[in-house]
Amino acid sequence: MPMGSLENHLFDLSPGRKPLDWNARMKIAAGAAKGLEYLHDKMKPPVIYRDLKCSNILLGEGYHPKLSDFGLAKVGPSGDKTHVSTRVMGTYGYCAPDYAMTGQLTFKSDIYSFGVVLLELITGRKAIDHTKPAKEQNLVAWARPLFRDRRKFSQMVDPLLEGKYPVRGLYQALAIAAMCVQEQPNMRPVIVDVVTALHYLSSQKYDPQIHSVQSSGRSPTSPRTMKRDDNQRHLFSSNEHERDKYSN
């Protein structure tokens, strides 16, 4: 792909290359979710990716993302089966804890990995970063306490965005990420709901010339917790926005 991987743009910026802006990050997140939806819901039989991470998301012109490297992919459970039992493989930091502990692979394992990628897009932090203090090395472990206090949400944003992001959009993106990385797999959303939410979020184009994080003395209404309150039910309404056909 002409623009390399998402990892190159988030963590390995070459001299002179501009960091991804908010709109590009949400476009990439929405596109990657569509790719995962294709594997989970459109493939016959359905497929569990098992290795979703930034280095496996390649970017084309206009930051159009493509999933790559399906060497660890597994055919999903069929019939009344809920999981596929398999040797634990994947990448530390992206691997769902339930899968890592039991070897029981489910579609929700991919949802967890997607939540980690979304957190990387929002924060600019790596899933695992041994250069950070001990309590901050694991991205999800670092983020979980912050999810509970919206006053700290701004502390989670990638400094390379230089404050150029929509506050409401940040809250919604963090709400999606928080649900995806729930410890209990049955608490994570299905991919179709993630696609719907991110399609909506990516359609809300942010213009820093018009909108400013500093322009208002108060934050807009947003979820106070990461539970499915009325705002999040609205965000995950499958009927509010038509889902685009995935093209590879």
- Pairing type for strands 104-105 and 84-85 reads antiparallel
Among 164, 156, 176, which Cα is nearest to 222's?
Answer: 176
Q: How many CA atoms lie within 13 A of 36 on its CB side?
A: 33
Residue carrying structure tokens 């963590």:
11
Q: Which of 12, 21, 51, 110 is catalytic?
A: 51
125-129: which pairs have CB atoms within 8 A and are 24 or more residues apart?
Answer: 125/158, 126/11, 126/93, 127/53, 127/54, 127/91, 127/92, 127/93, 127/94, 128/92, 128/93
CB distance 237 to 196 below 8 Å: yes
Among 48, 69, 190, 54, which Cα is nearest to 118's?
Answer: 54
What is d(CA 116, CA 139) in angstroms, rounded to the nearest whole number?
Answer: 8
Active site residue 110: no
What is d(CA 165, CA 161) in angstroms, rounded to the nearest whole number?
Answer: 7
Among 186, 191, 157, which Cα is nearest to 174's?
Answer: 157
Known catalytic residues are: 51
